[in-house]
Amino acid sequence: MSKNNIQIPGLEHPVTRVALGTWAIGGWMWGGPDDDNAIRTIHTALDEGITLIDTAPVYGFGHAEELVGRALSQKPHKAFIATKLGLNWKDDKPFRDSRPERIRKEVEDSLRRLKVERIDVEQIHWPDPKTPIEDSARELERLHKEGKIGAIGVSNYSPEQMDIFRQAAPLATIQSPFNIFEQAAGKDILPYATKNKMVMLAYGALCRGLLTGKMSKDKTFPKSDLRSDDPKFQPEHFPHYIAAVDEIKKLAEKHNKSPMVFAIRWILDQGPTIALWGARKPEQISGINDVFGWTLSQEDQDQVAAILKRHVPHPIDPSFMAPPER
């Protein structure tokens, strides 16, 4: 198996360690959809060699899944699809709902929207405190035995919650926020995944665009953009993060890489990880192959840590994204 790929337990073949993330493609909280660009972006990802696409019903309330299904049906491909469930919504406002009957309905809805007979990786999007974890796990295991889903994963779960889940069903993946600016998962989630032979899907790999190196401290965001509510992008914090990115950019230049390629490589060097590269335009997915064929040195890692210590010694976690309970 190539170092550019990783095996997710339960899948027939390894997948690329960079996957396409489709939250922005769905349009919700990202300024609305752009379907033509979305289709081209998915096709570009396939052309770049990506073999895993991560999506979810809540990304545009079904729209992102429909676009993924449409794009993949238009083009021969060898891609696997990872999607999620466990979020319900009313009036475009999501809330947690992992009841067995909701899980079954979501799987059927996703199969229809994605135009497939089996979902390769099905993940519970957020833990639902009002539903016993074992009940959700058993329903996913039943769907697995019925052949409707392949690998089972969770997202935003703690190690303790995963322990409970794994008593009822096997877990192949855990999805967590993880990037240079949001490293909490590296302390407990990633070691847990390593110990239990799971793969961690790192979402927010470019920290909502911060790590692209294309923003200035004067950048503003409309209310329809989720970054308007992200503490990192507020005036009291944003300049400090931009200053850190400016230094990371210089570090990346020593390798003749862009800051976003450097940021993705940083994730891949931490353990059994897949970085989710979010994009909504074809040009935003270019350069993926620059991620492979090199690694960060210990000196690079130390310099990243020093940059953070200088500019963001008290990093802000992404808890603002957590949806409410049912």
Residues 269 and 295: beta-carbon distance below 8 Å? yes
What string of DSSP letters covers 206-263? TTTTGGGS---TT----TTBGGGS-GGGSTTTHHHHHHHHHHHHHHHHTTT--HHHHH
Detail the DSSP E strand segments found in the chain. Answer: 5-6, 15-16, 18-21, 52-54, 80-85, 87-90, 93-96, 119-124, 149-155, 173-177, 199-203, 273-278
Backbone φ and ψ for 114, nearest 5 degrees, come out as: -80, -10
157 is catalytic: no
Handedness of CA 116, 22, 157, 16 (dihedral sign): positive
Q: Enter the tokens of residue 159.
A: 């190690």
214 Rama sector, left if φ>0, alpha if ψ -120 to 50, beta otherwise? alpha
Is the separation of the CB atoms in 174 and 202 below 8 Å? no
Strands 5-6 and 15-16: what pairing?
antiparallel
Copy the structure tokens of residue 232.
């990192």
Cβ–Cβ < 8 Å for 82, 55 = yes
The string over 12-30, giving b where at least 16 C-beta atoms fall within 10 Å of a residue's C-beta and e elsewhere, is eebbbbbbbbbbbbbbbbb
d(CA 227, CA 210): 10
Annotated active-site residue in 59, 192, 203, 241: 59
CA-nearest of 276, 252, 102, 76 to 176 is 276
What is the widest separation between alpha-carbon atoms in the chain?
A: 53
Residues with active-site annotation? 59
